[in-house]
A and B are shown apart, each in its own frame.
Chain A
Amino acid sequence: MTLIDVHAHFFHPAGPRADWAERNASRLKAGERMGITCHIASILGSWGRTSPTYFPSPADLSVGNETLLALQRGLPSQIRGYVCVNPNFGSHALAEIDRCLAAGMVGIKLAASRRADDPLLDPICASARSHGVPILHHIWQHRRRDWPGQEASDAAELATLAARHPEVVFILAHLAGGGDWLHSLHAVRALPNIYVDLSGSGVDGGMLEACIDAVGTGRLLWGADITLDTGWAKLRYLEHLLEEDACEAIRWRNAVSVFPPNSLLAVSG
């Protein structure tokens, strides 16, 4: 059985956490138990150590991306990477995208450095289109105010961006990662190029039914983010809710369809 986690993270020694290696090992070990065949991951710079997690400096981004490439090279059958960039540093972002995709990464990660509907994101979207890769965009589900440490976007802003770039696939990050997920589902329902990533610590009753109602099973992507237990819970409930074919789509087939052809071949059976 194939299972692709479209929203994973790894840590590294240049970040602030002394337990970085334990956390990485724990993800891989739990992933094995759950049957995760591929972790599509990102590293957000130095994770706050030398620049803010959601406003990573170009230097920190390069270090993080390089670390992720090394992880991918070390476990080529289990790990794929998103190249993480900060749109405020446009030249660096475009160069980093070219460099990391050429080295084997499979998508682009945008955190919360700039609102999703900002024109600064347009060159990055154009690059995603030319490379044929999806953009995983950090989202605060219905942001009602600004929060410290990030310039978080919500689904309405991502929808604006997606409408400007209909040929690019966007992945709305961690629907269950905090905030009003129903607001997000309403905002993306009509946008066929926005896929919904189910990751996040939330396991709300009724949420998965609402997802299926809003975007069908064809635009849902399974993921865990930083709580694999909640990811597994949602997967188990989906297996109860859906026929096997629909469940397979969410487990991996939808993911294979949005990433570059053959980029997940080694992990998708």
Chain B
Amino acid sequence: MRTDINTFLGRYPFRRAPGGSPQALLESMDRTDIAEAWISNLSAIFWRDPTEGNGVLYQAAEFQPRFRPVPAIHPALPNWRDALKEAVERRAPCVRADPTFYALEPDGSEMRALAAACAGAGLPLLLAVRLEDARQRHPNDVAAELPSSAVRALLRTDPALRLIVTHADKDFVEQVHFGSTPPEAQRLLWDICWIWGPPEDHLALLLKTVGLDRFTFGTGLPLRLPENSVAKLDLLDLSPEHRLQLESGNLQAFLAGFRS
């Protein structure tokens, strides 16, 4: 059972990126043995109200049991608490926010309020460090990357908050992990999509230094080929048990921590 927490439906405004339809996503999942995908709305990240894209996610998940919706919450909009309430009612596994794309301070008062509300609701908050390599972004795609300081700051806002962070590289992971106390770091789960394999072996190193239980499978589909995250696992010397942990076990444990 391989769960991909980092996939998108929809279109990317800055380049052609085929594969954002539900059918195309399913085909990619079948090709790479991904059983379940957590879906975010790629188009809506760039809308003034990204929560307008949540309905499509709920609908897709309703018709396709292999999808689980990751609704967006924009904590500077008047409706954000309703959107969070709906996410809880519809049993979303987490919610996401993309503060730099919303032109918000990533650890400003709005995001801190959202973090506290997520903690209170028992829902993890998903944050993406980036969507594309900074060197190739469109000249008008100027939103900053998520800074590691913001993740550290948000972690400290509420002891019940849990964060899932996607698209982080080795340096980012290390700066947050070792810039946090062990109990704080336990409330973080990282996806592996942006962490390099051999010969630099960043992922192998992080599994040892940060801990295997802090990572989970994610791809960034359709902006990125899902084969990459599978290849990273294939290049590690992992026992079947550890591989299963990375593919879904750590995620299940992370979510179970919320339910308990």
Q: At the interface, yes or no: A126 with Cβ under 8 Å from chain B?
A: no
Question: Which of B88-96, B104-112, B225-233 lines the interface with chain A?
Answer: B225-233
A142's nearest neighbour on chain B, judged by CB, is B136
With A202-B133, A205-B222 already in contact, the answer to whether A233 and B231 are too (CB < 8 A) is yes
Q: Which of B227-242 contact A (CB under 8 A)?
A: 227-228, 230-232, 234-235
- One of B139, B198, B224, B227 near A204 (C-beta < 8 A): B224
* Interface size counted on chain B using CB atoms at 8 A: 29
Q: At the interface, yes or no: A237 with Cβ under 8 Å from chain B?
A: yes
Question: Which of A25-33, A242-250, A259-267 lines the interface with chain B?
Answer: A25-33
Q: Secondary structure at chain A's binding surface: helix, strand, loop or mixed?
A: helix
Q: What separation, in Å, do the CA atoms of A118 and B135 have in the docked complex? A: 24
- B8-24 interface mask toward A, CB cutoff 8 Å, 1 = contact, 0 = none? 00000001111100000
- One of B15, B197, B222 near A182 (C-beta < 8 A): B15
Q: Secondary structure at chain B's binding surface: helix, strand, loop or mixed?
A: loop
- One of A23, A26, A205, A226 near B18 (C-beta < 8 A): A205
Contact between B139 and A144 (Cβ–Cβ < 8 Å)? yes
Nearest-CB distance from A240 to chain B (Å)?
6
With A229-B231, A232-B235 already in contact, the answer to whether A206 and B16 are too (CB < 8 A) is yes
Q: What separation, in Å, do the CA atoms of A24 and B139 have in the docked complex? A: 37
Contact between A229 and B196 (Cβ–Cβ < 8 Å)? yes
Q: Which residues of B contact A205 (CB under 8 A)?
A: 17-19, 221-225
Q: Which residues of B contact A33 (CB under 8 A)?
A: 234-235
Known: A204-B136, A229-B231, A230-B231. 12 other contacts (CB 8 A): A22-B201, A24-B199, A140-B135, A178-B136, A202-B133, A204-B132, A205-B222, A205-B224, A229-B198, A230-B228, A232-B234, A236-B230
User: Which residues of B pack against A, CB within 8 Å?
Assistant: 15-19, 31, 132-133, 135-136, 139, 196-201, 221-225, 227-228, 230-232, 234-235
A–B complex contacts, Cβ < 8 Å, 25 sampled: A24-B199, A26-B199, A26-B200, A27-B198, A27-B199, A33-B234, A33-B235, A179-B135, A182-B15, A201-B196, A202-B136, A203-B224, A203-B228, A204-B17, A205-B18, A205-B224, A206-B19, A228-B197, A228-B198, A229-B197, A232-B227, A232-B235, A234-B227, A236-B227, A236-B231
